[in-house]
Amino acid sequence: MRRKMYLLAGGPGGSRRTAEQLKAALQECGTAHPSIAYIGTASDDDRAFMNWFVRPLVKAGASAVTLAPLAGRHADEAKAAAVLRSSDAVFISGGEVEDGIRALSPAIRSLLKELLESGTVFIGLSAGTIMQGKAWPHWPDEDAHPENAVLFDCLGFADTIFDTHAESEGWPELRKAVELAGDGFVGYGIPSGEMAVIDEQGILIPNPNLVRCCNEGGSAVIR
Residues 22-33: what's their mean pLDDT? Answer: 96
Residue 145 has pLDDT above 80, yes or no: no
Q: Within 41-159, where are the H helices? A: 47-59, 77-85, 97-102, 106-117, 127-131
Q: Which amino acid is at 59?
A: K
pLDDT at 223: 84
Residue 31 has pLDDT above 70, yes or no: yes
* Structural domain spans, the chain: 5-222
Residues 199-223: what's their mean pLDDT? Answer: 95
Fold of the 5-222 domain: Rossmann fold (3.40.50)
β-strands 150-153, 186-190 pairing? unpaired
pLDDT at 107: 98
The answer to whether 177 and 135 are in contact (CB under 8 A) is: yes
Residues 52-72: what's their mean pLDDT? Answer: 96
Q: Which amino acid is at 32?
A: A
Residue 143 has pLDDT above 90, yes or no: no
pLDDT at 119: 97
pLDDT at 123: 98
The string of pLDDT tens digits covering residues 75-93 is 999 999 999 999 999 999 9
Residues 20-34: what's their mean pLDDT? Answer: 96
Residue 34 has pLDDT above 70, yes or no: yes
Structure confidence at residue 146 as a pLDDT band (50, 70, 90): low
pLDDT at 139: 83
Percent of the chain with pLDDT over 90: 88
Is the whole model's pTM more than 0.85, yes or no?
Answer: yes
pLDDT at 158: 95
The answer to whether 190 and 8 are in contact (CB under 8 A) is: yes
Structure confidence at residue 15 as a pLDDT band (50, 70, 90): confident
